[in-house]
Amino acid sequence: MMFGENRIMNDIYKQRTIEEMPKDWQIKKIGEIATEIYRYPTYYNIEYQKKGIPEIRGELIKENGSLENDLSKYRYISPETSNRFSKTVLEESDFVISVRGTMGKVAMVPKSLKGANITANLMKISFNRNECYSAFLKQIFLSKSFKNKLNNLSSNTTIKTIQVPILKSIKIKLPPISEQQKIAEILSTVDEGIQKIDEIMRRTERLKKGLVQNLLTNGIGHKEFKETKLGKMPKDWQIKKIGEIATEIYRYPTYYNIEYQKKGILLKRSKCQY
C-alpha cells in the first residue's frame, strides 16, 4: 500500500487497542457514561404485601432484555420499605443486571415499572442520556462478548459476583448518539422478527401436540370406539406389548475405552437427539 493510501485509511479509521473502528466512535468505560451504578449489599427480612412497590428479581429478567409483564409474578413492598433502599429506586430506561450467581442477565426498565425496586442480586445502572441511547446499550449488554467479559472479570468465589468498580472499568465502543439510535432501530426490528417467528413456532408446536393427541387416540374417521385398559380407542385397533412387535431390543452393558477417529462408522449418542 502506498503512503498516500495509508493516510486515507488512517483518516477513516483510528486504531484503539488491537481493533479498528470508525473515526468518530469512542471507547468509553461504563463508569464514564453511567450516572449511577449501585446495589445494596444487604436486602433481608423484607415484609411483602399484596400491593405496593414492585420488587424486581433475577427470575423476572427475560433473555431478550425485557422484564416480565405479568405483574402477578412480582412481589410487592411498601413505600416505606422502598424508601430504605432509595438508591435503587428505578426510573424508565434504567438497567437492572444480575451480578451474583447467574451473571449478566440484563433488562431495560419500561415506563410501567418506573418506581420499582430491586433485590440484592441485581444492580441498578443509570446512564447519561446525552451520551447514550438506552436501546443501543441494551444490545451491547445482551451480546455474548459482553457477558463473557462479565464472567471473566467476576470473582472466583463459590458464588460468582461482579463488583461495581469492575463493572465501571469495562470498556465499550460508543458511536455518536444519532448512530446509536439507528443501530438500535435496526437490531430492534430484527429482534421483533425473531419474536414473531418464535411465537409462530410455539403455536405450531402446540398445534402438533393437539394433533398427536387426537390422532393417536381417535385415529382418522372412526365412528365406533371401545373402552380398554389404555382408555377409549377405535374398535378395530389392537393393544400390543412393545415386545410383541419389536424384532430387536438391545443395549451393551459396557462401552468404555473407545478409540475414536476422524472418519469411520458414525456413533449415535443421546446428545444427537432433537
DSSP string, 72-132: GGSEEE-HHHHHHTGGG---TT-EEEE-BSS---EEEPPGGGTT-EE-TTEEEEEE-TTT-
CATH label of the domain that carries residue 108: 3.90.220.20
**Separation CA 217–CA 230 (nearest Å):** 10
Q: What is the pLDDT of residue 268?
A: 81
Q: Give the domain range for residue 122.
A: 24-175
- Residue 209 maps to a domain: no
Q: What is the pLDDT of residue 16?
A: 44
- Residue 14 maps to a domain: no
- Residue 6 maps to a domain: no
* Joined grid coordinates for residue 220: 382418522
- Residue 160 maps to a domain: yes
- Residue 156 maps to a domain: yes
Beta bridge partners of 100: 161
- Residue 207 maps to a domain: no
- Residue 261 maps to a domain: no
Q: What is the pLDDT of residue 101?
A: 66
3-class DSSP state of 219: coil
Spell out the alpha helix ranges (H) of the chain: 3-12, 30-33, 79-84, 134-142, 144-153, 164-169, 177-218, 242-245
Q: What is the pLDDT of residue 189?
A: 93
- Residue 77 maps to a domain: yes
- The backbone region for 221, taken as left when phi is positive above 0, alpha when psi lies in -120 to 50, beta otherwise, is left
Q: What is the pLDDT of residue 103?
A: 75
Q: What is the pLDDT of residue 15?
A: 43
Walking along the chain (274 residues) 10 residues at a time, the average pLDDT comes out as: 48 51 93 94 90 95 92 96 96 92 86 95 94 94 88 70 88 95 94 91 94 92 93 94 94 86 86 59
Q: What is the pLDDT of residue 158?
A: 61
- The total number of structural domains that make up the chain: 1
